[in-house]
Amino acid sequence: MASDAPSGPVGAGRLDGTDRRIVEALRADGRLSMRALAGRLHISRASAYSRVERLHRDGVITGYAALVDPERYGFGISAYVFLTIGQHSWKTVRERVLAIPEVWHAALVSGEHDLVLLVRAHDAAALRDLVLNTFQTIPDVTSSHTTLILDEPVRHAPGAD
């Protein structure tokens, strides 16, 4: 069982075991009502509500999203695209990349490449167009490398059934 002792700096406060259990429960099911959340964690609804509000205010919980099966949503191909960019241009390139709907995740990384993108496209032709006509035409992108994703085992959120 998680400790209720605060751990690590977060925003204006620190997380205790109850905060962490709240986050885990909401990661597993972001649609939980305050009543269900409180019941699951054996705390009062008032406590659940105030803690969730504080977690939002402190930036621990930044939002809620629907998890989507990319293939059923119409994206038949997924890939990691590694971009190498000119020095001191990551902020500009990041803004351009994040505006592209096929980019599902982007990370600034160390090593051979500068940005790693998780991209999803309808088919191979759309992926080719995305890489050759979108990414490679962004100013300051000096090279790209694309790795196809052959399979994505689903990892459920903690506590999800």
All domains of the chain in start order, with CATH: 7-57 (1.10.10.10), 77-148 (3.30.70.920)
Predicted confidence band of residue 11 (pLDDT cuts 50, 70, 90): very low
How far from each other are the two terminal CA atoms of the chain, in whole angstroms?
Answer: 19
Among residues 80, 97, 78, 79, which one has the least CA distance to residue 141?
Answer: 97
Q: Is the pLDDT of residue 4 over 60?
A: no
pTM of the predicted model as reported, rounded to 2 decimal places: 0.74
Predicted confidence band of residue 5 (pLDDT cuts 50, 70, 90): very low
Regarding beta strands 77-85 and 7-10, do their DSSP bridges make them parallel or antiparallel, or are they unpaired? unpaired
Count Cβ atoms below 10 Å from residue 55 Cβ, excluding itself: 20
Instruction: Report the alpha-carbon angle 111-116-121, nearest 5.
Output: 155
Residue-wise pLDDT for 90-133, tens only, equals 999 999 999 999 999 999 999 999 999 999 999 999 999 999 99
Q: Using the structure block, give the residue that is written with the tokens 């620190």.
A: 14
Strand-pair partners of 84: 143
